[in-house]
Copies of this chain bind each other. A is one copy, B any other.
Amino acid sequence: MTIRDVAARAGVSVATVSKVINERYGVSAATLARVRAVIEELGYEASLVAQSLRNHRTNVIGILVADLEPFSTELLKGAADAIRGSGFELVVYSAGGRTGDPLGWEKRYLSRLSGTLVDGAVLVTPTVSLDVVPGTPVVAVDPHTGPSHLPTIDSDNLRGAQLATEHLLDLGHRRIAFLAGRPDLQSAELRKTGYLRALTAAGITPDEDLIRIGAYDPEVSAASAHALLTGPDRPTAVFAANDISAIATVDAARELGLAVPDDLSVVGFDNVPESALCSPPLTTVDQPIREMGHRAIRMLIALINGDEVERTHVTLDTGLVVRHSTRALP
């Protein structure tokens, strides 16, 4: 089913069919109608691939995610939302969390796709190679390896962590533990910095024993939380670097017979909406994940169209949503 089949059936040349498809001038009304009818009848659709090869504009935006976990799927929803009505299509490529050549994956994919299949890409891969394919507009979301010269969307991890810690301080907590994220991710480090700064600003000397690695992993977090809660002079509050760790902390507390928030206050970061459902509903630092996806697409489209982009590094606000997992110390 190619353009030639349509041309043959309509008794015209392929060039004419192409003109009809692309709504070009220079086709008589009669021919137009006939060709349209044949297209309809045959259910013909132009091959995206052949079109891409010819035109260098494809009206397709790629979004590359390292894996389909809650963060990226949430982001995808915002992106899908922004793409609607933009005239672009969205295709998602997932590396499937593969470990082989973690560094080069996004670059390889980008080279294979750019200039042909996609007009630009959003990168949601923790490790963003600094030297991406030239000539292809790219926007990175929360690029974890530190400041890059790529256009970037992220959220205010530092301030979010400070808000969370200050909230616990305001509730009277003084022994506040931190369940850290992955040390290789810049956003995780910023959360730690925010925690430390808030403590220091309150005149509290951070206690190394109250800082453990959760690594954004349920099992690692569970073990660390357990250690934290069974150690000497246990904390009265825990700030977890993401919601997975926070939920693991709540579970660990429950297992130890500690009630949340009566015996232990817990705050999480990185919440996808579902974390509001946990029991008790989690106080969280609210990252506007969908909005990040939305903004990334909008910025990318501007870049593709050559529009003026006011700022290429956008940091979205984070806020604290207080729910029932925290309470004032008696």
Contact = CB atoms under 8 A, between A and B. Distances in A.
Interface of A: 1, 43-50, 52-53, 67-69, 73, 76-77, 80-81, 83-84, 89-94, 96-98, 107-108, 111-113, 115-117, 247, 274-275, 277-281
B112 A94 contact: no
A68 B272 CA distance: 14
Contacts of A94: 76, 80, 90, 92
A281 B67 CA distance: 27
B96 A83 contact: yes
A50 B116 contact: yes
Contacts of A44: 111
A81 B96 CA distance: 7
Nearest to A2: B115
A82 to B, nearest CB: 9
B115 A47 contact: yes
A89 B80 contact: no
A80 B280 CA distance: 32
- CB-CB nearest 7 A-B residue pairs: A279-B279, A45-B111, A49-B116, A274-B274, A92-B92, A73-B73, A277-B278
B80 A73 contact: no
B112 A277 contact: no
Given A43-B111, A52-B49, A112-B45, A77 B68 contact: yes
